[in-house]
Amino acid sequence: MNFASLTKEDLAGLLALEDFTPVYEQADQIRREAKGNQVHIRAILEFSNHCKRGCLYCGLNRRNQNVSRYRMKPEEILLTARSAYKAGYQTLVLQSGEDPYFKTDLLAELVKEIASWGMAVTVSCGEIRPAYGPLKKAGASRYLLKHETADALLYNRLHPEGSLADRIICLKELKALGFETGSGFMVGLPGQTLETLAEDLLLLKKLNCDMAGIGPFIPHPATPLKEAVPGSPELTKRCVALARILLPHCHLPATTALGVMDGREKETVFSCGANVVMRKVTPEPYKSLYEIYPAHLEPTDIPKDRALLEEQILALGRIPI
Ligand code: SF4
């Protein structure tokens, strides 16, 4: 099969394969050739869980009255970013809900300060189009805005305040401004098919994404989708492998945290073509309040978490950076 020109039908067929091993092997080989053995560790700092949107799958959606909302103070944000930098993180992802409190000037100031230390700053704060230019100017080098699903009807059902068309306009604008642009999608959304996932993968390619976050849908108990069936980890890994094949140079985070795995599962976490690990540096009490989907997380200890992660990556024969 010519992997370079995979069609929607080809991709859906591959996702349904009984034995996916040859595709994993191909993805891993492409990863080795295009990205080497390095694993990039990214720090994520979730500085506000306020959000003006009501995405149906998200625990932070504005209709959820059961979540305590927080905004970190600018000095807290900088202090945490500094600790991450000192612990060896070279990239910080500044993430929040769509929170109008953090106006462009304030965000740009934070970016400027953090970038001045030599840290690469990724911003992930949603569809805040007027801010994109000033953030780039302030020194942000990457922007992460997942498209979530390439099925326009499904997208519009899940995002009452938005449209897939608007999302794509934002992604194209980010690309045009010179951001390393990240998108991504969820696997296992109710109503999604293998053909939808094939379209998700082709959209990543069409946008020529520099990063892609692909993760399983996990129902949150305080959302309208609380009864839905969670996405399959295996299908998620298959999507990552196909993303590697379609976009050899793309940064692809591993779909599950290394810390919660053991044995064989841990050994294969990168074998689908992933080359990035994201690690939360958000301090308590905020970390457990940033719950897009339910997760049981240990409190943050920035230097210790980083050192442990490096050890785990080295133990897998890969090089942490
Ligand atoms: S997914 Fe993002 S934009 Fe949507 S409600 Fe959650 S935090 Fe807000």
Where do the structural domains in the chain lie, given as residue ranges?
A: 35-236+280-313
Quick one: average pLDDT of 238-243? 96
Answer yes or no: is pLDDT of 296 > 50: yes
Instruction: Report whether residue 51 contacts ligand 1, using a CB cutoff of 6 Å.
Output: yes
Which residue in this structure is represented by tokens 């990063």?
Answer: 211
292 CA distance to ligand 1 middle (Å) = 7
Answer yes or no: is pLDDT of 110 > 70: yes
Top mutation candidate among 58, 161, 163, 293 for ligand 1, by most atoms within 8 Å of CB? 58
- Bridge partners of residue 303, in order along the sequence: none
Q: What is the pLDDT of residue 267?
A: 62
Give SS3 for 120: strand
Torsions phi, psi for 84 (to 5 deg) = -65, -40
Answer yes or no: is pLDDT of 262 > 80: no
Q: What is the pLDDT of residue 256?
A: 65
299 CA distance to ligand 1 middle (Å) = 23
35-236+280-313: what fold? TIM Barrel (3.20.20)
Q: What is the pLDDT of residue 261?
A: 45
60 CA distance to ligand 1 middle (Å) = 6
What ranges make up the beta strands (E) of the chain?
Answer: 38-48, 91-96, 120-124, 140-144, 180-187, 211-216, 276-280, 319-320
Q: What is the pLDDT of residue 4?
A: 67
Residue 264 pLDDT class (50, 70, 90 cuts): low
Answer yes or no: is pLDDT of 260 > 60: no
Top mutation candidate among 46, 51, 52, 185 for ligand 1, by most atoms within 8 Å of CB? 51
224 CA distance to ligand 1 middle (Å) = 14
118 CA distance to ligand 1 middle (Å) = 29
Residue 251 and residue 240 in contact, taking contact as beta carbons nearer than 8 Å:
no
57 CA distance to ligand 1 middle (Å) = 9
Quick one: average pLDDT of 169-178? 98
Q: Write the DSSP symbol of residue 57.
A: T
Residue 224 and residue 265 in contact, taking contact as beta carbons nearer than 8 Å:
no
Q: What is the pLDDT of residue 5?
A: 86
pTM, 2 dp: 0.94
Q: What is the pLDDT of residue 270?
A: 83
Mean pLDDT score of the chain, rounded to an integer? Answer: 93
Q: Which residue CA neighbors atom 5 of ligand 1 most closely?
A: 61
Top mutation candidate among 46, 50, 53, 170 for ligand 1, by most atoms within 8 Å of CB? 53
Quick one: average pLDDT of 143-169? 97
Number of C-beta neighbours around residue 118 at 10 A:
8
The minimum-distance atom of ligand 1 relative to the CA of 54 is: 5
The minimum-distance atom of ligand 1 relative to the CA of 62 is: 5
Q: What is the pLDDT of residue 132?
A: 98
Separation between Cα atoms, residue 258 and residue 250, nearest integer Å:
20
Quick one: average pLDDT of 177-188? 97
Q: Which of 69-78, 228-237, 259-268 has the highest mean pLDDT?
A: 69-78
Give the amino acid at 29: Q
Instruction: Report whether residue 58 contacts ligand 1, using a CB cutoff of 6 Å.
Output: yes
